[in-house]
């Protein structure tokens, strides 16, 4: 009996002890485990984990999603199936990338801009509503995500595309057909975190090259994105992980920043050159595209930018296809007296394309449109490029046709500068009325003429130099070929749009005044910059180099001297002229440097330089990432003398492409704008 009682007591004590242990363990897990859920630790990691108001299926990866500003990066290296997320331009519904989980809208307010600040807006005037945890973005309705078929677990090619030694164009696309970007499998979205930044050294950058005109869409599996696209799904191993704008990859330069998921704070500055952000000046882009990455993207762009098949065919379509075939099989050009081969991606194709443009191209100019916005060009100031092009084209009898059925291109003759001066309400920070005005014009010509609807606007083009034109033309003119000074990768479409040179015209009566500069042996200044402290970048440049080194003549705004002689003489006497971005990526200093035969040093992340589809910019210019401003002098001094002399020679040879003439001259800026428009139109055509 005593033994039975003793056993009952011990059993009760054991049960009590086990209960206490379970309670302690449960309590410990409740406070210590992620998300405070004790019981979830007892089950599979495949269960849902709640984060704020959104839930993500963790799958096989313990890593967290990365936030780049308001952009969500997701790694799907464990995905096995491929899904395609595609929204057409007219689709206003939200695409859902994740099973059963709603993505919150990233609402964008109108960009605030002061027309007195060079009348330009910085990308960072966009205001996203809601906390950073809520800004899980939605795909923009103008975007398309393309994926490779049967991708499985394959990753991007490890090696850069190799280029032929002769010229800068590839007849065949050597990019691996299996490049996979944007894989989603089994309803599982696996976040990216540790893969970025730890993927090892990148391959050497390829030589610049143009995309083959007959490139296959299969060979180009990119995420084609607009700025409002916020949920790119990327493969952790691809060399071009994230695309902003329409064809923009993520650069290694920001990978350290990506790991923390943070962008520079408004009052922070670091010794590695990350610009200090000042209120009202904007901030650096969270994703940076280097010039070599742009070259790589251009290789693939034409197959992605192919326009819709026309509603009905015409003789002009066959003429374009014929011209395209002749360019693809252009005879090799050697020792051309006018064309210096290293300046071009493929001098043979450029020359043949230019000749065919002269022989074939016809442009129809719409007579509709009221002055002063339409048919009234401005010929002075920093927006003069759009005005001079309008003036010279409207007076041209060779290219302009009065018969629209014979036209290969249709010109929309408006001035983005006059649009702003006429319609913008000062301090309203709204350009909706400007955008609506352009839409009304398009509705009118589409109702009056059949040509816009035949191609969806793909054979129409505009030339606009005002900073706002990038955004004003994005929604309703996104199918057009847009020649834009503000050629920012956040909205510029490589292979379709044309980067328009921003030229400061002081005297319409003497367009070539002060042309040229001193020979290299007489250029005593290593580097020169002077200008107003527009934007976030120039103060950083001045902070690092202003009045700190006799070789680096870096100033703010120089005192006014009649004819701007002091500024001009500095450019004529400098080896390198710093072209630092202001409020936007573009600057008239790029063309000014070439005008005064000074090697341009472009410090403007994500800027697509003019005539990019034709010119090899690295043969006559230097590109420095914004983060490398503290090392600017060292970078310039590291360039050997022989290399500098080659660059200087390149500047002198390419100069003819950036000069305005009252009567156009072969290969000058007027013809180059027209040629790039023609060339990009040809590259959009794959079949009729």
pLDDT beyond 80 at 137: no
Residue 653 to residue 597: CA distance in whole angstroms = 10
Residue 556 to residue 399: CA distance in whole angstroms = 44
The full length of the chain comes to 688
Dihedral of CA atoms 556, 557, 560, 563 in degrees, nearest 10, equals 100
For residue 332, is it within any domain?
A: yes
Name the domain boundary from 456, 484, 499.
499
- Tell me the angle at which helices 669-683 and 384-394 cross, rounded to the nearest 10 degrees: 80
pLDDT of residue 301: 82
pLDDT of residue 303: 65
Phi, psi (deg, nearest 5) at residue 228? -85, 5
For residue 582, is it within any domain?
A: yes
Same domain, yes or no: 455 and 542: no
Rg for the chain, CA atoms, rounded: 28
For residue 81, is it within any domain?
A: no
Q: Residue 647, exposed/middle/buried by CB under 10 A (0-12, 13-18, 19+)? A: buried
Mean pLDDT of 551-564: 90
pLDDT band with cut points at 50, 70 and 90 for residue 22: confident
Q: Enumerate the β-bridge partners of residue 576.
A: 527, 599
DSSP structural state of residue 91? -
Mean pLDDT of 13-26: 79
Q: In terms of Cα–Cα distance, which of 166, 167, 302 is closest to 616? A: 167
Same domain, yes or no: 308 and 349: yes
Q: What is the pLDDT of residues 352-386, one digit of tens each?
A: 999 999 999 999 999 999 999 999 999 999 999 99
pLDDT beyond 70 at 101: no
Question: What single string gives the DSSP state of each residue in 32-87?
Answer: HSGGG-TGGGGS-TTSEEEETTEEEE-TT--PPPEEETTEEEEE-TT--S----B-
Considering Cα of 173, then 356, then 511, then 460, what sign does the dihedral take? negative
H or E, element range at 360: helix 347-360
Same domain, yes or no: 530 and 493: no
Q: What is the pLDDT of residues 204-228, one digit of tens each?
A: 333 444 444 544 333 333 333 333 3
pLDDT of residue 170: 38
User: Total domain count for the chain?
Assistant: 2
Same domain, yes or no: 537 and 409: no
Q: What is the pLDDT of residues 457-494, one digit of tens each?
A: 999 999 999 999 999 999 999 999 999 999 999 999 99
Residue 564 to residue 515: CA distance in whole angstroms = 14
Pick the most confident of 149-163, 304-318, 364-378.
Answer: 364-378
The residue with greater pLDDT, 239 or 221, is 239
Question: How confident is the prediction for the chain on average, in pLDDT?
Answer: 72
Phi, psi (deg, nearest 5) at residue 594? -65, -40
For residue 349, is it within any domain?
A: yes
Q: What is the pLDDT of residues 413-456, one digit of tens each?
A: 999 999 999 999 999 999 999 999 999 999 999 999 999 999 99
Mean pLDDT of 335-358: 97
Same domain, yes or no: 392 and 437: yes
Residue 525 to residue 523: CA distance in whole angstroms = 6
pLDDT beyond 80 at 191: no
For residue 258, is it within any domain?
A: no
The whole domain housing 570 covers 525-658
For residue 75, is it within any domain?
A: no
Mean pLDDT of 265-278: 40
Q: What is the 3-state composition of the chain as percent helix, strand, coil, each rounded to the nearest 5?
A: 35, 10, 55
Phi, psi (deg, nearest 5) at residue 664? -55, 145
Omega of the bond leading into 372 within 30 degrees of 0 (cis): yes
Same domain, yes or no: 351 and 487: yes
* Local structure of 370: helix, strand or coil: coil
Q: Are 298 and 210 in contact (CB under 8 A)?
A: yes
pLDDT of residue 74: 32
For residue 568, is it within any domain?
A: yes
Non-local (6+) Cβ contacts of 345 within 8 A are 167, 168, 169, 208, 209, 210, 613, 614, 615, 616
Same domain, yes or no: 482 and 556: no
Same domain, yes or no: 529 and 477: no
Residue 104 to residue 370: CA distance in whole angstroms = 42
pLDDT band with cut points at 50, 70 and 90 for residue 233: very low
pLDDT of residue 7: 56
For residue 256, is it within any domain?
A: no
CATH number of the domain within which 632 lies: 3.40.50.2000
- Tell me the angle at which helices 347-360 and 315-328 cross, rounded to the nearest 10 degrees: 160
Dihedral of CA atoms 398, 403, 408, 414 in degrees, nearest 10, equals 80
Same domain, yes or no: 542 and 486: no
Same domain, yes or no: 483 and 446: yes
pLDDT band with cut points at 50, 70 and 90 for residue 299: confident
pLDDT beyond 70 at 537: yes
pLDDT beyond 50 at 77: no
Question: What single string gives the DSSP state of each residue in 436-473?
Answer: HHHHHHHHHHHHH-SHHHHHTTTTEEEEE-STTHHHHT
* Local structure of 501: helix, strand or coil: coil
Residue 589 to residue 501: CA distance in whole angstroms = 10
Model-wide pTM > 0.75: no
Q: In terms of Cα–Cα distance, which of 629, 633, 606, 634 is closest to 538? A: 629
Q: What is the pLDDT of residues 27-40, one digit of tens each?
A: 665 554 443 443 43
pLDDT of residue 29: 59
Residue 381 to residue 504: CA distance in whole angstroms = 5
Q: Enumerate the β-bridge partners of residue 552.
A: 527
H or E, element range at 499: strand 498-499
Q: What is the pLDDT of residues 316-339, one digit of tens each?
A: 999 999 999 999 999 999 999 999
Q: Are 238 and 250 in contact (CB under 8 A)?
A: no
pLDDT of residue 28: 61
Same domain, yes or no: 555 and 468: no
Same domain, yes or no: 435 and 531: no
pLDDT of residue 615: 98
């Amino acid at each position: 009996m005593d033994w039975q009682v003793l056993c009952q007591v011990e059993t009760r004590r054991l049960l009590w002890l086990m209960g206490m242990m379970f309670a302690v363990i449960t309590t410990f897990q409740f406070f210590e485990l992620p998300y405070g859920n004790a019981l979830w630790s007892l089950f599979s990691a495949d269960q849902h984990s709640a984060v704020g108001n959104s839930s993500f299926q963790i799958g096989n990866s313990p890593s967290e999603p990365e936030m780049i500003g308001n952009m969500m990066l997701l790694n799907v290296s464990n995905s096995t199936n491929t899904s395609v997320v595609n929204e057409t331009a007219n689709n206003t519904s939200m695409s859902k990338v994740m099973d059963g989980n709603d993505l919150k809208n990233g609402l964008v307010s109108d960009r605030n801009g002061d027309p007195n600040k060079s009348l330009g807006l910085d990308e960072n005037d966009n205001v996203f509503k809601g906390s950073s945890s809520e800004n899980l973005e939605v795909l923009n309705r103008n975007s398309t995500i393309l994926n490779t078929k049967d991708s499985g677990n394959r990753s991007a090619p490890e090696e850069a595309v190799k280029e032929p030694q002769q010229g800068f164009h590839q007849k065949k696309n050597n990019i691996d057909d299996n490049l996979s970007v944007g894989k989603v499998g089994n309803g599982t979205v696996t976040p990216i975190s540790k893969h970025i930044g730890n993927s090892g050294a990148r391959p050497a950058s390829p030589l610049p090259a143009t995309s083959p005109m007959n490139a296959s869409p299969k060979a180009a599996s990119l995420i084609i994105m607009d700025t409002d696209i916020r949920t790119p799904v990327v493969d952790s191993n691809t060399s071009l992980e994230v695309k902003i704008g329409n064809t923009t990859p993520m650069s290694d330069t920001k990978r350290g920043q990506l790991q923390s998921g943070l962008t520079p704070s408004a009052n922070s500055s670091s010794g590695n050159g990350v610009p200090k952000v000042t209120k009202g000046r904007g901030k650096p882009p969270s994703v940076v595209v280097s010039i070599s990455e742009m070259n790589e993207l251009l290789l693939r762009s034409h197959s992605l930018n192919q326009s819709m098949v026309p509603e009905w065919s015409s003789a002009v379509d066959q003429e374009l296809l014929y011209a395209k075939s002749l360019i693809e099989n252009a005879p090799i050009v050697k020792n051309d007296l006018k064309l210096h081969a290293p300046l071009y991606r493929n001098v043979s194709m450029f020359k043949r394309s230019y000749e065919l443009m002269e022989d074939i191209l016809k442009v129809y100019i719409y007579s509709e449109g009221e002055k002063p916005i339409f048919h009234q060009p401005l010929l002075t100031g920093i927006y003069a490029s759009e005005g001079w092009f309008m003036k010279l084209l409207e007076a041209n009898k060779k290219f302009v046709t009065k018969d629209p059925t014979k036209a290969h291109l249709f010109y929309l003759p408006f001035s983005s500068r006059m649009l702003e001066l006429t319609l913008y309400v000062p301090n309203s920070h709204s350009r909706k009325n400007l955008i609506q005005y352009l839409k009304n014009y398009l509705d009118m010509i589409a109702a009056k003429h059949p040509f816009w609807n035949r191609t969806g606007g793909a054979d129409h083009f505009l030339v606009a130099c005002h900073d706002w034109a990038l955004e004003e033309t994005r929604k309703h003119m996104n199918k057009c070929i847009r020649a834009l000074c503000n050629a920012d990768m956040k909205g510029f479409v490589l292979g379709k749009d044309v980067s328009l040179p921003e030229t400061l015209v002081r005297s319409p009566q003497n367009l070539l005044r002060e042309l040229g500069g001193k020979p290299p042996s007489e250029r005593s200044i290593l580097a020169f910059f002077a200008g107003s402290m527009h934007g976030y970048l120039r103060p950083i440049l001045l902070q690092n180099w202003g009045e700190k080194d006799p070789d680096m003549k870096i100033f703010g705004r120089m005192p006014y001297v009649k004819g701007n002689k002091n500024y001009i003489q500095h450019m004529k006497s400098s080896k390198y002229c710093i072209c630092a971005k202001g409020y936007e990526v573009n600057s008239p200093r790029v063309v000014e440097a070439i005008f005064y035969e000074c090697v341009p040093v472009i410090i403007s992340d994500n800027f697509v330089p003019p005539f990019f589809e034709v010119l090899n910019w690295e043969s006559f210019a230097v590109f420095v990432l914004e983060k490398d401003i503290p090392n600017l002098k060292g970078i310039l001094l590291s360039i050997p003398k022989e290399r500098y002399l080659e660059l200087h020679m390149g500047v002198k040879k390419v100069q003819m492409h950036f000069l305005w003439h009252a009567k156009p001259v072969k290969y000058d800026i007027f013809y180059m704008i027209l040629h790039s428009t023609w060339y990009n139109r040809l590259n959009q055509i794959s079949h009729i």
